[in-house]
Amino acid sequence: MRKKRNALIQFNRHYILEASKQLFLEKGIEKTTVDDIAKLADCSKSTIYVYFKSKEEIFNYIVYEYMSVLRQGIEDSIQSSAEFIECYYAICRKMVDFRNQYPMYFESILAEISVQSEDFEQQPILKDIHRVGEEINSSLENFIRKAIEDGHLRSELDPLLTVFSLWGSICGIISLADKKRKYFESDLNLDKQKFLEYSFELLLSCLLK
């Protein structure tokens, strides 16, 4: 009986989340209402509130899902080669691919996540988002630390601070490439991909020993 109940919960959650993803993409988060989600998910508004406290919590569940996808992608990129530089570019490509696939949620991973215990109690999913973020940081920190120990990167670099600097720089480069794409192409005759490649190479050169 419990297995059937859990299966039903997962089934309903899945359809609510899938409907929300579609609506957020089509209408935007602000313009999407819980009524809209209920209609598309073919359930009542009260049913949605059985599983989620608010539209914000639904959005946070989706952020968690895509952050988990990104975490796995980064871990796969780190394991893709024994060569530091190849792994670095694999991580950059993974970030670009993530931005192309999930532009709305790419911006969300840069947003501030509450770490207050009372917020975790109100929305336990925030704790899960925070945990996945810390796992990404840890994977990247170990990656950078090993590169320093192996002599690829400058020895005076602080691994964790380097991770945050790289994270911010790579995400910023990717966002700029999208926002300025038309300007690059029309005024500078510069292809977006060429800009990304140049910027990632320039960033790497600042770290290499």
pLDDT at 55: 94
For 4, the token pair is 């059937």
Q: Which CATH number fits domain 1-52: 3.40.50.2030, 1.10.10.60, 2.102.10.10, 1.10.10.10?
A: 1.10.10.60
Identify the residue whose tokens are 């940081």: 137
pLDDT at 117: 57
Q: Which CATH number fits domain 55-205: 1.20.810.10, 1.10.357.10, 3.10.450.240, 3.40.50.720?
A: 1.10.357.10
pLDDT at 145: 97
Domain boundaries, the chain: 1-52, 55-205
pLDDT at 108: 79
CA–CA dist 125, 146 (Å, integer): 32
pLDDT at 105: 87
pLDDT at 75: 96
Q: What is the pLDDT along the chain (209 residues), one digit of tens a residue?
A: 555 555 556 778 899 999 999 999 999 999 999 999 999 999 899 999 999 999 999 999 999 999 999 999 999 999 999 999 999 999 999 999 999 999 988 887 776 565 565 666 667 888 899 899 999 999 999 999 999 999 999 999 999 999 999 999 999 999 999 999 999 999 989 999 999 999 999 999 999 98
For 133, the token pair is 């973020």
pLDDT at 68: 95
pLDDT at 123: 76
Are 26 and 40 in contact by the 8 Å Cβ rule? The answer is no
3-state SS, the chain, equals CHHHHHHHHHHHHHHHHHHHHHHHHHHCCCCCCHHHHHHHHCCCHHHHHHHCCCHHHHHHHHHHHHHHHHHHHHHHHHHCCCCHHHHHHHHHHHHHHHHHHCHHHHHHCCCCCCCCHHHHHHCHHHHHHHHHHHHHHHHHHHHHHHHHHCCCECCCCCHHHHHHHHHHHHHHHHHHHHHCHHHHHHHCCCCHHHHHHHHHHHHHHCCEC
Q: Do domains 1-52 and 55-205 have the same CATH topology?
A: no
pLDDT at 65: 94
Please enumerate in sequence order all residues whose Cβ is within 8 A of that of 80, keeping only pairs 6 or more positions apart, or say none. 86, 87, 90
CA–CA dist 140, 208 (Å, integer): 16
pLDDT at 104: 87
